[in-house]
Amino acid sequence: MPRHSERLPLDHVTPGGRREILVHRYGTPGARPKAYFQASLHADEVPAMLTAQHLLRRLDAAEARGEIVGEVVVVPYANPIGLGQFVNSEHIGRYELGGGGNFNRNWPDLFTPIADSIGAALGDSEAENVAAIRAAMGEHLAACAARDALDSLRLTLARLAFDADLVFDVHCDEAALMYMFLIPDHWPLAADIAAELGCRAVLLAADSGGASFDEAFSTPWTRLAAKYPDHPIPAACLATTLELRGQADVTDALAEQDAAALYRGLQRHGAVAGDPGPLPEALCDATELDACENLRAPSYGIVTFAVALGEAVRKGDLVARLTDPAGDPAAPAREIRAGTDGLVLSLRDRMWRFPGEIVAKIAGREPLPGRKPGALLDD
């Protein structure tokens, strides 16, 4: 049967306005595994939306061939609020202009509201425990009421994703290599997805501290398992944030390449039938998020880079220079040097930086003493 599409309206819009989430569904509702894909929660990160279109074409063909084994849900644009936010023709898609902050922070807590009451429903069957926990999460989300438009967006997306086996929250960086975020419990389970996509880094954190979208659905399972060690509770939702390179990496060739990789990932995890072929060689192993260095501007100034994306650097190597336009032109620019050995994973493409703003990211292997474990809030 063809895909089923629907439009879910958001609450608390202004008079005469309308915002909605477009949802495409494949397969049979309730079939397993369920995979959920959403594009561009940070609405100015465009590559994911183009990749979604290429993925939909593949899923349409698979549906026509009867090859959707589980259930696949695709949200081709996850943030209609951010899509409409422009200030003097500049797209502001990362932060909600009404004061709500970063769109990918402060997602609903699905652990605390059910943590105490779920114990009575748990037993010795892993499958039955998973079903009971998902039912409790769904009941909690159904009872929640949106306080504003941003809250309505969060609840709408959470109700679509909470019971998925696989969650792909697809973003991009400013200028970057391909990389992904996971909780440690899902490595090496997700190693095939990282290999398919050609990830150059996989960053692990049990709790990154930002209540990001992916962790809203992955961490409740590990926290419940810790609370109820006498009952079998798996990490039943493999959720990841995928960074599809940089904001300027928007081509049909790249989008088709990434959609093909994601489709093969769905095949490998049983949501879609068919042979994905041999697994590509992995380009990286997973490392801890607190081993990833955020190099910051020590003052305001103009950034010029001394390294390229993908370059290997050693601690002390020059990464960038910062020039003060009000300074003495004869004076040397301030130097920003690597504090760890690693790979240049990301470079900022806005070349004017204020004090404390991130200039570059280096994916290292050793935890950094100055970086709080799993700290996503400073990213």
pLDDT by 10s per residue, the chain, length 379:
678 999 999 998 888 889 999 999 999 999 999 999 999 999 999 999 999 999 999 999 999 999 999 999 999 999 999 999 999 999 999 999 999 999 999 999 999 999 999 999 999 999 999 999 999 999 999 999 999 999 999 999 999 999 999 999 999 999 999 999 999 999 999 999 999 999 999 999 999 988 999 999 999 999 999 999 999 999 999 999 999 999 999 999 999 999 999 999 999 999 999 999 999 999 999 999 999 999 999 999 999 999 999 999 999 999 999 999 999 998 888 999 999 999 999 999 999 999 999 999 999 999 998 776 555 555 5
User: What angle do the packed helices 213-227 and 126-143 form, to 10 degrees?
Assistant: 130
Of 178, 168, 173, nearest to 262 by C-alpha is: 168
Q: Could you tell me if 153 and 75 are in contact, meaning their C-beta atoms sit under 8 angstroms apart?
A: no
Of 293, 286, 263, 258, nearest to 275 by C-alpha is: 263
Q: Could you tell me if 75 and 8 are in contact, meaning their C-beta atoms sit under 8 angstroms apart?
A: no
pLDDT at 2: 75
Helix (H) or strand (E) holding 213: helix 213-227
User: Amino acid identity of 371?
Assistant: R
Of 184, 255, 196, nearest to 39 by C-alpha is: 255
Q: Could you tell me if 21 and 156 are in contact, meaning their C-beta atoms sit under 8 angstroms apart?
A: yes
Runs of H (alpha helix) within 228-304: 252-268
Which tokens sit at 25?
Answer: 């569904």
DSSP conformational letter for 199: -
pLDDT at 143: 98
pLDDT at 373: 57
pLDDT at 15: 85
* Sign of the CA dihedral with 208 first, then 229, 138, and 8 last: positive
pLDDT at 294: 95
Domains and CATH numbers, the chain: 4-284 (3.40.630.10), 290-364 (2.40.50.100)
Decide the pairing of beta strands 175-176 and 312-313.
unpaired
Q: Kindly report the backbone phi and psi dihedral angles of residue 336, in degrees, each rounded to the nearest multiple of 5, phi listed first.
A: -115, 120
pTM for the full model? 0.96
Q: Could you tell me if 180 and 238 are in contact, meaning their C-beta atoms sit under 8 angstroms apart?
A: no
